[in-house]
Amino acid sequence: MRLKTVLIIACAVFVLVLNGAASAKLTATANHDHIKIDFFYHGSSVSVRGVSDPGSDLIIKIASADGHQALRQKGKVAGLLWMNVGELKFEHVPSMYSLHCSKKITDILDPGEMEKYAIGYEAMDKKATIQPVANDSEKTKWFNEFVKFKEDSKLYSETTGDILLTANGQEQDYYVLTPWPYQAMPGDYTVTVYAVRDKKVVEKAESRVFVEQVGLVKSFATMAKNSSVLYGTISIVVALVAGFGVGLIFRKGGGAH
């Protein structure tokens, strides 16, 4: 009985050692995990690094939590004039989405896996709901417009081949540097690294980036929201004083004929 137990433990250790030799545990670390928005903030940059199994391809997704957004929809009126014709409500879409792949995503990942892990615009289209739209093709058309709008605002991006991979013995080091747009709202962002083999996700690791307003920026934003009467009054008084003050400085001016 005792010998049997010893043999089982020895086999388990042997299997673990073999496994360890074949693959490294996937890790992910964001270097800049707390971004502070102060008066001189003009965006930042975030690098993600870690180790992975040498045989794996990598996909790195940086995204906010899914939320909703209402946008004005432009269309033609009377077949001639472009103007706002309504509002579209987008549900289950992140406000920011940045995807980095070691190779072209359709070459390394199965469509079913993309959908399962919400990787790529096509998968996001399937997950999102848009109201009001008449059918699926109209939904896809407006989702593509949504992506165009977000890419224009620097909040959505998909890039291929920007992950730097370096062999390191039995492991593979990876590194990606991505610009952090100043348009990204304060909040929590998740960095997810997927190790992919044979078009399947075999492992994933996560890290976080937290963005918050600090100092006077935070005070003004909070005051505008929570003490709007005081904020409005101060805005008006400052404008009146500034206008009058500059008027006094320019005493010799005037508009008479």
Partner 1 sequence: MHLYLPVALTSINVLVPVGLGLAVGLLSGLFGVGGGFLMTPLLIMFGIPSTVAAATDSNQIVAASTSGTYAHWRVGNVDFKMGLYLLAGGFAGGLIGVEGIKILRAMGNADFVIKMTYVLMLGIVGSYMFFESIMSMRKKKVHEAEEQRQESAFGRFLKSLPLQTYFEKSGVTHSVLIPIIFGSFVGILAAVMGVGGGFLMVPVMVYILRMPMHVVVGTSLFQILFNCIEVTFLQAYTNHTVDFVLAVLLLIGSTVGAQVGAVFGRKLKAEQLKVILAVIVLVVTVKIVFELTLSPSLLLAQSGGH
List the x/- string, 199-218, binding to partner 1 by CB under 8 A: --------------x--xxx
Q: Which is nearer to partner 1, 169 or 243 (CB)?
A: 243
List the x/- string, 94-133, binding to partner 1 by CB under 8 A: ----------------------------------------
Which helix (H) or strand (E) segment is 21 a member of? Answer: helix 2-22
Contact with partner 1 (CB under 8 A) among 8, 77, 127, 131: 77
Q: Would you say 43 and 185 are in contact if contact means Cβ atoms under 8 Å apart?
A: no
Contact with partner 1 (CB under 8 A) among 34, 74, 116, 208: 74
Contact with partner 1 (CB under 8 A) among 17, 18, 19, 40: 40
Q: Would you say 101 and 107 are in contact if contact means Cβ atoms under 8 Å apart?
A: no
What is d(CA 251, CA 87) in angstroms, rounded to the nearest whole number?
50
What is d(CA 206, CA 54) in angstroms, rounded to the nearest whole number?
19
Is residue 254 involved in binding partner 1 (CB under 8 A)?
yes
With CA atoms as reference, report the closest residue to 128 among 84, 105, 95, 152.
95
Is residue 164 involved in binding partner 1 (CB under 8 A)?
no
Is residue 236 involved in binding partner 1 (CB under 8 A)?
yes
What the block records as the tokens of 252 is 């010799």
Is residue 233 involved in binding partner 1 (CB under 8 A)?
yes
Find out whether the peptide bond into 111 is cis, omega within 30 degrees of 0. Answer: no
Q: How far is the CB of 96 from partner 1 (least distance, A)?
A: 12
Is residue 157 involved in binding partner 1 (CB under 8 A)?
no
Query: For residue 209, what are the contacts with CB-CB under 8 A and spacing of at least 6?
Result: 30, 32, 33, 34, 35, 46, 62, 180, 188, 189, 190, 191
**Contact residues for partner 1, defined by CB under 8 A:** 37-43, 70-75, 77, 80-85, 87-88, 142, 145-146, 148-149, 152, 182-183, 185, 213, 216-218, 220-221, 224-225, 228-229, 231-236, 238-240, 242-251, 253-257
